[in-house]
Chains A and B, each alone.
Chain A
């Protein structure tokens, strides 16, 4: 039987926490950017201007048909060189975190845009008609009438997607950037305790994501009860 030895974990906690901060940073920035850019994409896709709708549909379908790993490979191996030559950066500047953030944000916004589009379409058409009868422009109707209602219904889905995104950030391991998982792997590799560190990492992810998804579920129930009244 395998001899467990968990002793390398307590000393590594500060390092693992630094990693967790990177994971959270990437998650939060990708959620914010993803929701903003995703909303714009969803509005473009529903807009009466054909080229805008085509662009948004093409963007969303492209990103949804390629694996996140492939997108990240682009952003780890190719985009940094482009960024360096474009902005004339010093070749030693570390752009990995920035390009990881951009990669995740562009990828996730395709998924967010689909959630938001469904949310916008769930608002009854009469609402837009009423807004324009009141003299509002299309943009005003969206901003003041449609989006506030759409977002309230979408919050649980957006949060669930954020949990998925948090799990996906473990893939920055590929770029050797020490996010939480990368840090755990490094410690395990250094101490010859990969088994313990991988199990520990799995347990931490499970605890965070399970707790978060339970909170989302509770919020969803509250929302449903509120709507039913």
Chain B
């Protein structure tokens, strides 16, 4: 093996002319972070809604929510992504589909599909965590709420959810980490996020080791930062008296 290491490659001007290769990587990092955070908002909102629906007494609503979870959990992320990106615009009413394909620039199309796909995919996992959070509460809490004259929605709003959300913070940490890792799948539809930039760097610089080591380390860095932030949040939201509580 006589490989020529050249870490200076990152500072040399990139083929696009307006940036360095380091600039490429940072723009990839930015896309990864933006994509993951926006998808996380969707996942959290939809996942909480579905998680609540899974626990309500109405058979139809809970059945609907569990079908939702099964669909998003049993199809590979890559296949879901391709369906959102290639299939859905075709199936929409012609005017909407064409608007998506023609009015939006390709980067926005990729970003929107990726965001929605990751959001829905992760929401099924968030849903399961929220459900198990609600189910882990003693049954007496719900009964007490109802006995006090709260309606069912009020019981959820004032009694069950404030407690359940504090309990699910630790399991949600790992889903939050997963969304960053899963966002790398979106490089397959051409979205220039971190992994895709790494791949592009290999093609342009012919320094595969430096590019891949740098990208891999950036993912590790994201992981460490997210974990540190979530530890703080976990400490803040811990419930005294519960396992791991104060």
The chain A residues found within 8 Å of chain B, CB to CB, are 1-2, 62, 65-70, 73-74, 77-78, 85, 163, 167-168, 170-171, 173-174, 181, 185, 194-195, 198-199, 201-202, 205-206, 209-210, 213
Contact = CB atoms under 8 A, between A and B. Distances in A.
B184 A70 contact: yes
7 contacts: A65-B181, A65-B223, A67-B184, A70-B212, A73-B212, A181-B76, A209-B73
B91 A202 contact: no
Interface residues of B, number: 41
Contacts of B76: 167-168, 170-171, 181, 205
B119 interface: no
A78 B206 CA distance: 11
Interface of B: 1, 70-71, 73-80, 82-83, 86-87, 90-91, 93-94, 177, 180-185, 187-188, 195, 198-199, 202, 208-209, 212, 215-216, 219-220, 223-224
Interface of chain B: mostly helix, strand, loop or mixed: helix
B79 A213 contact: no
A66 B220 contact: yes
B78 A181 contact: yes
A1 B224 CA distance: 47
A195 B209 contact: no
Q: Give 10 closest A-B pairs by Cβ, nearest first.
A: A67-B184, A69-B184, A65-B223, A209-B74, A167-B76, A67-B181, A170-B76, A170-B78, A210-B74, A66-B219
A202 B79 contact: yes
A97 to B, nearest CB: 18
Interface of chain A: mostly helix, strand, loop or mixed: helix
A202 B75 contact: yes
A66 B216 contact: yes
B32 to A, nearest CB: 10
Given A2-B90, A73-B199, A194-B86, A205 B75 contact: yes
Which of B78, B86, B187, B223 has the most chain A CB atoms closer than 10 A to its own CB? B78
Contacts of B219: 65-67, 70
B185 A69 contact: yes
A68 B209 CA distance: 18
Given A66-B220, A70-B195, A171-B185, A202 B83 contact: yes
Contacts of A170: 76, 78-79
A73 B211 CA distance: 11
A206 B185 CA distance: 19
Contacts of B87: 194-195, 198-199
Contacts of B182: 67
Contacts of A201: 79
A1 B73 CA distance: 28
B7 to A, nearest CB: 17
A66 B178 CA distance: 10
